[in-house]
Copies of this chain bind each other. A is one copy, B any other.
Amino acid sequence: MDIRRCHFGSDALKEEQRFVDIQNVVQFVLEIDKLKAVLRKVKPVGESRYENTAEHSWQIAVFALSLAGTLRLAIDVSQVIAMLLVHDIGEIDAGDKFVFAQDGWEERKAAELRAVERIFSFAPDAMAKILLDLWKEFDAGETAEAKFAKAIDRSMPVLLNLSNGGGSWIENGVSYERVLARVGPEIENGCPELWAFVKRQLDSAREHGFFAPTHA
């Protein structure tokens, strides 16, 4: 114990602890500022630059809020939003990984876990645990909320590519079949109504040449 604190009464001690807690929250919030510099593979509609993970996280949170409310889903949308706000924070250390990368996903998951353990630990202990639990719930994908959150997260870049004439699919040689195989199951699993919509858009885009050719 710091001997200087003996001069304070318990109120002053409590106030000092609160000050330290706020300082730790602020250090956490400034550490995650780095997510604004993590670039993804898709571009905002009509923009020449790539989007970053911070603005992506905002957009999917609003997407979840408005879609869950519209469909009157019997899930805790606040939990979904909280998960979406923090699920990509590990990219500060691990970077964005292209969803159509073929391998390295196990190592990737371990790297992201190490990253969020480091980053969340800036926050006071109790809050760090809450943040880590949100991250783990999303990652496990077992609750209805996590499944819906994953469906939203997977859909958003698809919707942006559909608005950008194919976007990252064309840039990276991704075929219609690979898109369906990679994003279809998670979107359908978390929100079948959304998948019905997205699938129809993908089929239409296929006719307009939004994908790389299918390999034999």
Residue A106 CB within 8 A of the other chain? no
Q: Smallest Cβ distance from A98 to chain B, in angstroms?
A: 20
A: contact size bracket = 35 or more
Interface flags, A19-30, vs B, CB<8A=1, else 0 = 101111110111
Count of identical protomers in the assembly:
2
Question: A78-86, A136-144, A178-186, A208-216: which one contacts chain B?
Answer: A78-86
Chain B: which residue is nearest A32 at the CB level?
B62
The DSSP consensus for interface residues of chain A is: helix
| Bound CA–CA A193/B33 (angstroms) | 22
Chain B residue contacts of A197, Cβ below 8 A: 19, 22-23, 26
Residues of B within 8 A of A33 (CB): 44-45, 59, 160, 163
Q: Is the CB of A127 within 8 A of B25?
A: no
